[in-house]
């Protein structure tokens, strides 16, 4: 552990300024991590992988023997998905995505749909989160939280300088993240007024569906104070076979504060030693991983959505989570222990 301490002397007094009292960590796999950051911009590699998936889909029996009602598909889902991925990675509009995809797939002899077809088909895609279940080892600790994406409205600078004059609209995204692998294992999209505790059951159902048999390894689900309800605690224990960890709420009283919540044991411990010490004792602070993941997703993709229909907004958010999972599994930095 390294501590930087500056000592200054003024007349007969000595003043100690502690600038940094945190452990110093370093990235052990810097060369691989740096190369991975560069590979994110190599769209040709991504295109070559997509071409194999496109040809595989077009050679399948389901593609050749189209039995559903209506006109047969001209463009495979894998092609529409990779164009949508390009759109998110490089921050393009649908029109720009069409031109970009035509240049990329021209040499492969693959026809590209126009931008209206891309936009119409995008909301109908079945998008997988690309979980690497080999990394889901041992007991699973699932972190839950939510964040918002703006659909339309005024920017932060204009609002800060002149105040809000127009309506601002968001959608709310509820995330479930595995602590050890840092993968997004589930997500749901709702209106921005939907409470976290009300959507938690749907989020956990989606998480169990994505994890499959691995869902039996869940032992703890961690959330902030919004998840501290008796109904959710009962659901987590009965349906997930896990324990809900959520900080109790503070209730003011005449001679101080009192902690109340769904877990009586946690309430009593918080009343005895305080909530901060209780968090340290149970390891509650590992829940910050989900907040870190939301920051990691918004950093490359932004905090706004470009689509206007509900189906396309869900697809846009799911594609971002899928890309982030791929990056996490391939090029995650490894730090030295303090």
When pLDDT is averaged across residues 278-293 and rounded to a whole number, the result is: 92
Q: Are residues 140 and 265 in the same domain?
A: yes
Q: Are residues 156 and 276 in the same domain?
A: yes
For strands 140-152 and 218-222, give the pairing: parallel
Q: Are residues 178 and 274 in the same domain?
A: yes
Taking CA atoms, 167 is separated from 136, 159, 190, 306, 317, in Å, by 42, 11, 18, 17, 22
Count CB neighbours of 247 within 10 A: 23
Q: Are residues 225 and 314 in the same domain?
A: no
Q: Are residues 175 and 283 in the same domain?
A: yes
* Dihedral of alpha carbons 77, 317, 222, 258, sign: negative
Q: Is residue 9 part of a domain?
A: no
DSSP, collapsed to helix, strand or coil, labels residue 306 as coil
Q: Is residue 167 within 8 Å of 189, Cβ to Cβ?
A: no
Residue 3 has pLDDT above 50, yes or no: no
Q: Are residues 182 and 235 in the same domain?
A: yes
Q: Is residue 222 part of a domain?
A: yes
Residue 154 has pLDDT above 60, yes or no: yes
CB proximity list for 123: less than 8 A, separation 6 or greater: 307, 309, 311, 312, 314, 315
**Among 85-89, 158-162, 316-320, 334-338, which is the least confidently predicted range?**
334-338
DSSP string, 41-80: T-HHHHHHHHHHHHHHHHTSHHHHS--SSSSPPSS-HHHH
Q: Is residue 107 part of a domain?
A: yes
Residues making up the chain, counted from first to last:
338
Tokens found for residue 279:
């968090």
Q: Is residue 125 within 8 Å of 77, Cβ to Cβ?
A: yes
87 sits in which H/E element: helix 77-90
**Percent of the chain beyond pLDDT 70?**
90
Phi first, then psi: what are they for 277, rounded to 5°?
-70, -35
At 295, which CATH number? 3.30.420
The candidate with the shortest Cα–Cα distance to 110, out of 101, 120, 121, 98, is 101
Q: Are residues 293 and 316 in the same domain?
A: no
**Predicted pLDDT of residue 254:** 59
Q: Are residues 140 and 73 in the same domain?
A: no
Q: Is residue 197 within 8 Å of 204, Cβ to Cβ?
A: no
pLDDT-derived band of residue 10, with 50, 70 and 90 as boundaries?
very low
What is the dihedral angle through the alpha carbons of 48, 54, 58, 60, rounded to the nearest 10 degrees?
100
Residues linked to residue 7 through DSSP beta bridges, in sequence order: 16
Q: Are residues 262 and 331 in the same domain?
A: no
Taking CA atoms, 238 is separated from 201, 230, 234, 246, 333, in Å, by 12, 12, 6, 17, 37
Q: Round to whole Å and give the CA distance between 211 and 105.
A: 34
Q: Is residue 4 part of a domain?
A: no
pLDDT-derived band of residue 323, with 50, 70 and 90 as boundaries?
very high
Q: Are residues 41 and 170 in the same domain?
A: no
**Predicted pLDDT of residue 5:** 42
Q: Is residue 220 part of a domain?
A: yes
**Predicted pLDDT of residue 336:** 72
Domain count within the chain: 2
User: Which residue range is the domain that position 327 belongs to?
Assistant: 19-126+310-338
Q: Is residue 11 part of a domain?
A: no
Q: Are residues 215 and 155 in the same domain?
A: yes
Residues linked to residue 56 through DSSP beta bridges, in sequence order: none
Q: Is residue 96 part of a domain?
A: yes
**Among 46-55, 114-123, 133-142, 218-227, which is the least confidently predicted range?**
46-55
Q: Who wins on pLDDT, 290 or 331?
A: 290
When pLDDT is averaged across residues 203-227 and rounded to a whole number, the result is: 95
Q: Are residues 121 and 138 in the same domain?
A: no
Tokens found for residue 288:
């910050």
Per-residue model confidence as pLDDT tens digits over 24-36: 677 888 888 888 8
42-45: long-range contacts, CB 8 A cutoff, minimum separation 24:
43/86, 43/89, 43/90, 43/104, 44/104
């Amino acid at each position: 552990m390294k501590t930087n301490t500056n000592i200054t002397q003024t007349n007969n007094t000595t003043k100690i300024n502690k600038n940094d009292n945190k452990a110093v960590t370093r990235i052990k796999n810097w060369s691989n991590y740096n190369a991975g950051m560069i590979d994110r911009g190599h769209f040709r590699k991504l295109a070559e992988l997509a071409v194999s998936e496109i040809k595989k889909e077009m050679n399948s029996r389901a593609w050749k023997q189209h039995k559903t009602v209506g006109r047969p598909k001209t463009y495979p889902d894998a092609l529409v998905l990779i164009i949508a991925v390009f759109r998110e990675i490089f921050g393009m509009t649908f029109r720009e995505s069409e031109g970009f995809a035509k240049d990329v797939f021209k040499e492969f002899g693959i026809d590209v749909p126009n931008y209206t077809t891309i936009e119409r088909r995008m909301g109908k895609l079945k998008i997988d989160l690309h979980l690497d279940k080999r990394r889901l080892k041992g007991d699973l600790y699932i972190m839950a939280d939510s964040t918002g994406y703006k659909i339309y409205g005024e920017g932060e600078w204009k609002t800060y300088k002149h105040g809000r004059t127009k309506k601002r609209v968001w959608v709310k995204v509820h995330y479930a993240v595995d602590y050890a692998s840092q993968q997004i294992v589930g997500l749901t999209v709702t209106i921005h007024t939907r409470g976290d505790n009300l959507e938690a059951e749907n989020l956990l159902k989606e998480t169990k569906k994505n994890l499959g048999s691995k869902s039996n390894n869940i032992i703890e689900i961690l959330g902030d104070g919004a998840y501290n309800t008796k109904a959710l605690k009962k659901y987590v224990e009965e349906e997930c076979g896990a324990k809900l960890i959520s900080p109790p709420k503070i209730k003011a009283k005449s001679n101080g504060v009192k902690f109340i919540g769904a877990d009586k044991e946690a309430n009593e411990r918080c009343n005895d030693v305080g909530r901060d010490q209780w968090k340290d004792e149970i390891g509650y602070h590992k829940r910050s991983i989900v907040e870190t993941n939301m920051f990691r997703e918004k950093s490359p993709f932004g905090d706004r959505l470009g689509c206007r229909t509900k189906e396309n907004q869900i697809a846009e958010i799911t594609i971002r989570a899928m890309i982030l999972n791929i990056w996490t599994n391939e090029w995650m930095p490894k730090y030295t222990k303090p």
